[in-house]
């Protein structure tokens, strides 16, 4: 197998995407996760660009990595300025990073409109900058910006730019589709010419793609097929405009589909957790439809599909989800059959006979006709399973609840909720305020239950979604509420449906708390748990 050098630019190029922001300390955490994943080179940033980047490089200088090397990013020297007198190049030369990545111009349009230098001066800028850093003991990667646009405009000059970097001592020259508008066949034709032209220079050839035409991953794979052995990208495809080529998709495609050596089996199995870690750190919801690592990547809904994967997973799965750290999801819906229900029951450790499964299928179909949606409400569905088999005990018996929302003349809005419940033969009445009726009800209910069920304090509501199901009825429409809850270890969904949005929210809230107890096998009867020794 051919070994591919994986180069991650999430911390630099990825951070140019909208809404992307990490502190210097958070970037250090990301660097360690990338190292554990098996990334070869981590482009940490542009140390001469701003104080945060300088702080990051100061922190990274004190860190040690098991495998990855840190790269510092910069630009070729300024026009009419010697490389050793260029302040930004001197910062690169003096920083701890063993690898320096330089970006330079390739396209005549940019020479004329942006940097305003002639072609020969641009070649000198490339060669001088690379040679300066090599002389200072740095390994240099040269990124040929807008290479494919420049190649389409003037192939000979684009190749001269690459040769200037190679002859000055660059270890790797990277062809960049900076605008992200090229298609795989264009990348393949140009890369074939590049590999042939540089065959005698002893330089590694790389690829750096953006995703503006939706082909970032395909273009990267196309370049590798032509002989590129250095691949740049970002985790989850983060980046400016439409993003960069997604390493989370590129890596398994290279290793599992094309037979290239990238990661160990254990590292490949960390792919999904790493992708989700970075999304959560950025306060993004992980993309459920992302290939290989998304929650829906191995989700099966139709009864025939579920029957197929139960018989042989390869019938409807192109790889084993566990290989990339993901897992199979069997979605419960009106399309489900007994096979899906049995499989979900097995996952929950619940014994279910065929008659019970058939009744549950009918119940799911009837409830989904009324507006329930169990694909996203795995917690509520498991409670249905437990109710069908008798393996269910409610957290409490409701007597009543009431929510009052008061809008005052001074603009203040106050919300108060009162609940009356029975737990373990005792009646509890609790009142609480909140920033809305659901928040107030949640606080009042926990006030009543946490003395007996202290674990409820650890359950947080992490997402709350409301959807109108029949818009034509306006404010009288049926609403569906979906709540995601977490105890810090797992996340589950619950659902409520009603013409009254507060009632729907209450139903979903109660399910989320009951699953948090019953799904984890905790006591839900009225007795307090025995004290620990």
Which tens digit of pLDDT belongs to each residue from 247-264? Answer: 999 999 999 999 998 999
Q: pLDDT 10s per residue in the chain (533 long)?
A: 468 999 999 999 999 998 888 888 889 999 999 999 999 999 999 887 778 888 899 999 999 999 999 999 999 999 889 999 999 999 999 999 999 999 999 998 988 888 788 999 999 999 999 999 999 999 999 999 999 999 999 999 999 999 999 999 999 999 999 999 999 999 999 999 999 999 988 899 999 999 999 999 999 999 999 999 999 999 999 999 999 999 999 999 999 999 998 999 999 999 998 998 898 788 787 888 999 999 888 777 655 665 666 677 777 678 988 899 887 766 555 455 566 677 777 777 777 787 888 887 788 778 877 888 776 678 888 888 888 887 788 889 999 999 999 988 888 999 999 999 998 889 999 999 998 898 999 999 999 998 888 888 888 888 888 888 776 666 667 888 988 888 877 778 899 999 899 999 999 999 999 988 875 544 444 333 333 32
pLDDT score, position 338 = 61
pLDDT score, position 532 = 32
User: What angle separates helix 271-281 from helix 24-37, to the nearest 10 degrees?
Assistant: 170
Element holding 233 (H helix, E strand): strand 230-233
Backbone dihedral region of 116: left (phi > 0), alpha (psi from -120 to 50 degrees) or beta? left
pLDDT score, position 88 = 92
Paired strand residues for 414: 406
State the Cα–Cα distance between residues 154 and 142, nearest whole angstrom: 19
pLDDT score, position 351 = 79
Structure-token pair, residue 149: 């646009």
pLDDT score, position 310 = 64
Query: Domain limits of the chain?
Result: 5-263, 299-389, 397-518
| H-type alpha helices, 87-183 | 87-94, 108-110, 119-135, 147-153, 155-167
pLDDT score, position 306 = 59
5-263 falls under which CATH superfamily?
Answer: Aldolase class I (3.20.20.70)
pLDDT score, position 522 = 47
- CA dihedral sign, ordered 451, 452, 455, 456: negative
The DSSP call for residue 234 is B
State the Cα–Cα distance between residues 211 and 217, nearest whole angstrom: 8
Torsion, Cα of 343, 345, 350, 355 (10° steps):
-90
pLDDT score, position 193 = 97
pTM of the model: 0.69
pLDDT score, position 127 = 96
Give residues with Cβ within 8 angstroms of 202, minimum separation 6: none
The residue to which tokens 């009918």 are assigned: 362
pLDDT score, position 461 = 85
HEC assignment per residue over 393-443: CCCCEEEEEEEEEEECCCCCEEEEEEEEEEECCEEEEEEEEECCHHHHHHH
Domains 5-263 and 397-518 share a fold: no
**CATH tag, 397-518:** 3.30.160.270
pLDDT score, position 222 = 98
Of 97, 94, 76, 107, give the one whose Cα is nearest residue 31.
97
pLDDT score, position 213 = 97
3-state secondary structure of 248: helix
């Amino acid at each position: 197998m051919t070994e591919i050098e994986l180069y991650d630019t999430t911390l630099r190029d990825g951070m140019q995407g909208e809404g992307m922001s990490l502190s210097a300390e958070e970037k250090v955490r990301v660097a360690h996760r990338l190292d554990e994943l098996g990334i070869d080179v981590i482009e940490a940033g542009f140390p001469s660009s701003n104080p945060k980047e300088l702080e990051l490089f100061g922190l990274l200088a004190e860190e040690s990595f098991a495998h990855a090397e840190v790269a510092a990013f910069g630009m070729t020297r300024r026009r009419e300025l010697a490389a050793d007198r260029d302040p930004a190049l001197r910062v690169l030369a003096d920083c701890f990073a063993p690898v320096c990545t330089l970006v330079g111009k390739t396209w005549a349009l940019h020479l004329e409109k942006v940097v305003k230098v002639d072609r020969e001066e641009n070649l000198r800028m490339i060669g001088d900058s690379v040679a300066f850093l090599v002389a200072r003991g740095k390994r240099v990667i040269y990124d040929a910006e807008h290479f494919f646009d420049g190649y389409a405009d003037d192939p000979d000059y684009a190749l001269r730019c690459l040769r200037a970097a190679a002859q000055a001592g660059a270890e790797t020259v990277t062809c960049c589709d900076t605008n992200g508008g090229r298609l795989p066949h264009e990348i393949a034709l140009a890369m074939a010419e590049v590999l042939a032209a540089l065959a005698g220079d002893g330089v590694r050839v790389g690829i750096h793609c953006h995703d503006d035409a939706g082909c970032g991953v395909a273009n990267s794979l196309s370049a590798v097929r032509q002989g590129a052995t250095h691949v740049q990208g970002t985790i989850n495809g983060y980046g400016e405009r439409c993003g960069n080529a997604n390493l989370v998709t590129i890596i398994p495609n290279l290793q599992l589909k094309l037979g290239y050596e990238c990661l160990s089996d254990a590292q490949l199995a960390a792919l999904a957790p790493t992708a989700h870690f970075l999304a959560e750190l950025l306060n993004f919801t992980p993309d459920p439809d992302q290939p290989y690592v998304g929650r829906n990547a191995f989700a099966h809904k139709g009864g025939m599909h579920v029957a197929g994967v139960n018989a042989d997973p390869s019938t409807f799965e192109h790889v084993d989800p566990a290989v990339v750290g993901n897992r199979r999801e069997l979605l419960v819906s009106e399309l489900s059959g007994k096979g899906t229900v049995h499989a979900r029951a097995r996952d929950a450790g619940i014994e279910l006979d065929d008659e019970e499964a058939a009744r549950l299928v009918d119940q799911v179909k009837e409830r989904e006709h009324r507006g329930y949606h169990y694909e996203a409400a795995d917690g509520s569905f498991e409670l249905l399973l437990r109710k069908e088999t008798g393996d269910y005990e409610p957290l409490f018996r409701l007597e009543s609840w009431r929510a009052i929302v008061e809008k005052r003349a001074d603009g203040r809005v106050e919300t108060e909720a009162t609940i009356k419940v029975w737990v373990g033969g005792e009646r509890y009445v609790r009142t609480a305020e909140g920033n809305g009726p659901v928040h107030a009800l949640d606080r009042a209910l926990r006030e009543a239950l946490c003395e007996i069920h202290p674990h409820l304090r650890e359950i947080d509501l992490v997402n709350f979604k409301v959807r109108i199901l029949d818009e034509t009825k306006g404010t009288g429409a049926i609403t569906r509420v979906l709540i995601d809850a977490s105890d810090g270890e797992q996340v589950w969904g619950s659902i409520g449906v009603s013409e009254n949005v507060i009632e729907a929210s209450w139903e979903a809230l109660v399910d989320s708390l009951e699953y948090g107890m019953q799904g984890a096998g905790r006591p839900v009867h009225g007795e307090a748990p025995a004290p620990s020794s």
